[in-house]
Amino acid sequence: MISETSTNKKAQHEKHKTLMNWSLKALDQSPKEKTINIGVCLTGPALNIVFVLWAFYTGDEDDQALGLWLIPGMLLLSWAFIAMILQKTLFNYRVYPDHIESDDCLYYPDYTEDLFKGIVLVGTGGALMSWQRPEPRHHPGLPWDEFHFVTVDRKYRIIVHHCTDVPQGFDVRFPDDDLLEQYLAFLHTVLRPTVKYTERVWQGNYE
């Protein structure tokens, strides 16, 4: 009985043993989504500049003055939206013998909390005084046997696991090519031999 209990504990330990783990900061969106979002943010300033040029062309001084006042505000607003779009996410990955899981949360530099408190001290943004870093979102993943398709994106160093042949899956990002190749070699040892591997730039949805 003692031997059987010891064996079970050892099996449980091996099951939850961390084989690989890494962290990185990256954008939590596809390149296509990033391009579209930035384009939308720049539309306002572009239209405003066209309006100002038209006002100068027609000689309407009122419209010229209005347009010149609007340009700085539109550029500042667009910059703020683009900064939000380009805000990186901190990803943490852990690989186990039977599955992979990840955590992610928006990345804030170490000085962010002090910056918000500084804003409060000059009389604005009182709600920021109690600001805290967001809690990470946990993604438990699925057992290796559940995956039947794998997309390998070497350009952006992303590997996506799919249960079905659809443009959505559990994405894993890598800080360098060596780790991507190491993980890809590991997948060939744990996934079914029938899994279909495809190499292309990933433009699908992320989970």
State whether 88 and 65 are in the same domain.
yes
CATH (domain of 152): 3.30.720
State whether 84 and 129 are in the same domain.
no
- Is residue 43 a part of any domain in this protein? yes
Domain ranges, residue 47: 27-93
**pTM here?**
0.66
- Is residue 48 a part of any domain in this protein? yes
Average pLDDT of every residue of the chain: 78
C-alpha atoms less than 13 angstroms from C-alpha of 174 in its C-beta half-sphere: 20
- Is residue 71 a part of any domain in this protein? yes
Spatial separation of the C-alpha atoms in residues 188 and 194, rounded to whole Å? 10
Sign of the CA dihedral with 86 first, then 89, 90, and 93 last: negative
pLDDT of 184 above 90: yes
pLDDT of 24 above 80: yes
State whether 149 and 180 are in the same domain.
yes
pLDDT digits (tens, 9 = 90+) for 117-172: 555 544 544 555 565 667 788 888 889 999 999 999 999 999 999 998 776 789 99
CA–CA–CA angle 204, 197, 29 (5° rounding): 20
- Is residue 101 a part of any domain in this protein? no
- Is residue 98 a part of any domain in this protein? no
Q: Which of 93, 121, 150 is the last residue of a domain?
A: 93
State whether 70 and 119 are in the same domain.
no
DSSP 91-135: EEEEE-SSBEEEEEEE---TTHHHHHHHHHHTT--GGGGG--PPP
- Is residue 17 a part of any domain in this protein? no
pLDDT of 13 above 70: no
State whether 32 and 56 are in the same domain.
yes
pLDDT digits (tens, 9 = 90+) for 82-120: 777 778 889 999 999 999 999 998 887 665 555 555 555
State whether 112 and 148 are in the same domain.
no
State whether 53 and 84 are in the same domain.
yes
State whether 53 and 85 are in the same domain.
yes
- Is residue 205 a part of any domain in this protein? no
State whether 128 and 152 are in the same domain.
no
pLDDT band at 174 (very low <50, low <70, confident <90, very high): very high
If one counts the domains in the chain, the total is 3
- Is residue 194 a part of any domain in this protein? yes
